[in-house]
Structure 1
Amino acid sequence: MNNKTITIKEVAEFASVSQATVSRVINGQSSVKEKNLKRVLEAIETLGYTPNSAAKALATNRSNSVGMLVGSLDGPFYGPLMHAAEDEIYKFGLHLIVTSGQDCESKETESLNFLRAKQVEGAIVHSDRLSDQTLLNLANDFKHFVLLNRYLPELEHHCLYLDNELGGYLATKHLLDQGHRVIGCITGPLSKHDARDRLLGYIRALAEHGVSYDPSLTIEGRFDHYDNFAKANELLDRAPSVTAIFCQNDNIALALYDVCQQRDLQIGKDISVVGFDNDLMSKHVRPKLTTVGFPIHEMGKIAGKMVLEQIQGEKESRSRKLSPTLEMRQSVKNLNAVG
């Protein structure tokens, strides 16, 4: 018989036992009488039955899956993050269930409720909108979980995050080291922790070089593609004396590239630009974009490993902080070399 057509019910009927007994045998539980164990094993062999993940889940009240909450299901950030996490989860024989909060607090809450209802083994959570207190409740909602890109001391064992403040610092310091002093900054949404941290890094680098922070040189943009073209135009209109701009992600930098082209400003000559994330596209624009490298694939891979360690009872003793790197290309002019 085709084992794909065989069900637990059919095995139970063939062996003259209950479906619950078959489930206990499948999952290696010891509370099965020897005569019934023999009947079930003979039925499985005769019928050619292969237990599937759904049957195991029903028997053990487990989903054989890990849940993941992300901000969006597309884009150069979340795509690689999900892919890397799934690769690690799948190695353990589990499946990844992904849901999106769509940058909305109510939808993030709804997504977590959905994952909880699915009885996932663990959860990987990338939340931009939920409060610290709500995230602290994850410890009650999910026994095993990893919190991405947020650090809460109370969740010391569960946090995996990038040092975004260091990233903003590296980007701005590079521009300062190249002789720039009037440096603009187009941030991501300042409701997001990573945007605020990158801005702090920008301010720290300026201070270390004796440059006062000028709020008029900072404008709030978005991490996605919307509205950044207008924001770049607004900054250049407001501060035409800027010689360089730190863009808090590569999407923003690409919008600035378009604006500069319309204004006949040559990037790397008339104005310098540093991005953030080191997206694939940053290598293919001209001039190639100097950017801060975000180890997205590494973060997804480590997140998968961390939640599996928790599921297996191998909890880490500390959080994990990833360090960004500066990828220097051709979009920054060295003013110190100008004679």
Structure 2
Amino acid sequence: MATIYEVSKLAGVSLATVSRVMNKNTRVSEKTRKKVQDAMDQLGYRPNSIAQSLASNRSNSIGILVSELHGPFFGQMMSGIESELRAAGKHVIITTGHSEQEKEIDGIEFLLSRNCDALILHVEAVSDEYLIELSKKSTPIFIMSRYVENLKDRCISLNNEMGGYLATKTLIEKGHSAIGFIGGPEFKADSRSRLQGHRRALKEFNLPFDDKLYFEGDFKETGGIAGLRTLIKNNDQLTALACANDEMASGAMKYAREHGYNLPEGLSIIGFDNIIYASYLYPTLTTIHNPIYEMGHMAAKLALKSVYNVKNLKIQNIFEPTVIERNSVGSV
């Protein structure tokens, strides 16, 4: 196996110059860079990433922890992060936490053991206090889709309360007053915020919050099915439904059609997230846009700016939701 010393000798340059070429140092001329690259190609030399990491104290990799690997929401998030980092010559190591405290902590410890230069975390079960203590360690952390006041400069989050408000306000402005709400698991901060927004919209239009018109779902299609089934039993005059994510909205739409509801004439449904298949449902789903791909880009930019000192990167920490009007919401 060829060595860096052989590359140096063949290219006629110093070891330091070979090192600078491998680390993409801009102080090396293009002519010298080509000589070194040609020597590496001729000898079949491949840089040892572990050795480079030990020498530079950088692995050029970012650890990412997400709740799940399946589903369009997390796919968009990871794609946004990875594409931005790859363009900057960095790589990602990905693991999952499954929204369970023990598994989230285990995933974080795994990423730390891989000598990642920083961690981007989508965590839902660990406490704010845990994250604050973790932030004091040597490996920088950045938080996705969650707001922690003490770490607000390290968070990339959505104004979820506004999203919940906009969803219910959209239904009210179409004349609906008997509005059900299928939320996500209440231990998740984004679920609680979206429910708060729903309640704010009701209050603004002098409509009472009725416990019988609220169902705690699971952010999955099954939650939408079970939620609509329960809400219809509680109030057969239900004319509209707000769901805290699009997967539950799709489940509710499926259940509604199977039980004789015409959509949106018999029941209006609005989702949340604007995942890729929302525009392919029938009817096409009116929803709240959650710019998760753009937020993934921003989390990566925050890491690049903070860890690698990349210049001229403008950081936006909080994103605002918008209504995407399609065909699943009608007037009464």
User: What TM-score do you get using the length of structure 2 for normalisation?
Assistant: 0.86
Deviations 1:157-189 (A, max 9, x none): 101100000000000001000111110000011
- Give the aligned partner of residue 325 of structure 2: 328
State the match for 1:211 in structure 2.
207
Q: Is the 8 A contact 2:274 2:289 kept in 1?
A: yes
Shift of residue 241, structure 1, vs aligned partner? 1.4
Distance 1:28 1:229, change over 3 A: closer
**Whole-Å separation in 2 of the counterparts to 1:25 and 1:326:** 49
Task: Give the letter for the 1:252 counterpart.
Answer: M
- Report what 1:223 is aligned to: 219
Aligned to 1:140: 136
Cα distance, 1:23–1:196 mapped onto 2, change above 3 Å = same
Distance 1:221 1:45 in 2: 56
Structure 1 residue 226 displacement after superposition: 3.6
- Give the C-alpha shift of residue 154 in structure 1: 1.3
Q: What is the letter of the counterpart of residue 319 of structure 2?
A: L
> How far apart in 1 are the matches of 2:204 and 2:22?
64
SS of residue matched to 2:228: helix
SS in 2 for 1:98: strand
What is aligned with 1:37?
Answer: none
CA apart distance, 1:318: 8.0
Residue identity opposite 1:326 in structure 2: V
Partner of residue 58 from structure 2, selected from 36, 55, 62: 62
List gaps (5 residues or longer) in structure 2. Answer: 26-35
CA distance in 2, matches of 1:46, 1:186: 63
Match of 2:308 among 301, 304, 312: 312
Indicate conservation of the 8 Å contact 1:24/1:59, yes or no.
Answer: no
Q: Provide, for residues 22-45 of structure 1, a one-character-per-residue CA deviation record: whole Å limited to 9, x for no partner.
A: 97996699xxxxxxxxxx99x969
Amino acid at match of 1:229: I
User: Does the 8 Å contact 1:158/1:319 carry over to 2?
Assistant: no
Aligned CA distance change for structure 1 residues 307 and 24 (closer, same or farther; 3 Å) = closer
Q: Is the 8 A contact 2:80 2:294 kept in 1?
A: yes
1:276 counterpart SS class: coil
- SS of the counterpart of 1:124? strand
Where in structure 2 are the equivalents of 1:162-311 lying within 5 Å? 162-311=158-307
* SS of 1:141 mapped into structure 2: coil
Inter-partner Cα distance in structure 1 for 2:152 and 2:316: 5
Q: Kindly indicate whether the alpha-carbon contact (under 8 Å) linking 1:156 and 1:319 is maintained by their aligned counterparts in 2.
A: no
Q: How does 1:124-139 map to 2 (within 5 A)?
A: 124-139=120-135
Q: Determine the C-alpha separation between the residues in 2 that align with 1:133 and 1:285.
A: 40
Q: 1:142 to 1:164 in 2, by over 3 A?
A: farther
Contact between 1:27 and 1:59, CA under 8 Å: does it hold in 2? no
Secondary structure of the residue that 2:193 maps to in structure 1?
Answer: helix
SS in 1 for 2:221: coil
Give the paired residue count: 318
Match of 1:49 among 45, 52, 71: 45
Letter in 2 for 1:167: G
Superposed CA deviations along residues 70-91 of structure 1, whole A, max 9, x for unmatched, are 0001111110110111011112
Stretches of structure 1 lacking an aligned partner (at least 5 in a row)? 30-39
Partner of residue 35, structure 1 = none
What SS does the corresponding residue of 2:157 show, helix, strand or coil?
Answer: strand
2:177 corresponds to which letter in structure 1? R
> RMSD of the alignment, in Å?
3.1
Shift of 1:58: 3.7
- Percent identity among equivalent residues? 38
* CA contact 1:116–1:142 (8 Å) conserved in 2: no
**Residues in 2 aligned to 1:103 and 1:271: alpha-carbon distance in whole angstroms:** 32
Residue 322 of structure 2 aligns to which amino acid in structure 1?
Answer: T
Q: Secondary structure at the match of 1:103?
A: coil
Shift of 1:151: 1.4
1:51 to 1:184, Cα distance in 2 relative to 1, 3 A: same
Q: TM-score normalised to the size of structure 1?
A: 0.85
Quick one: distance in 2 between partners of 1:328 and 1:305?
Answer: 30
Q: CA shift at 1:62, angstroms?
A: 2.6
Q: Secondary structure at the match of 1:245?
A: strand
Question: For residues 266-324 of structure 1, what are the alpha-carbon distances to aligned partners after superposition, in whole Å with 9 as ceiling and x for unaligned?
Answer: 11101110001111211111111110011011011111111100013469998611011
Structure-2 separation of matches of 1:219 and 1:45: 62
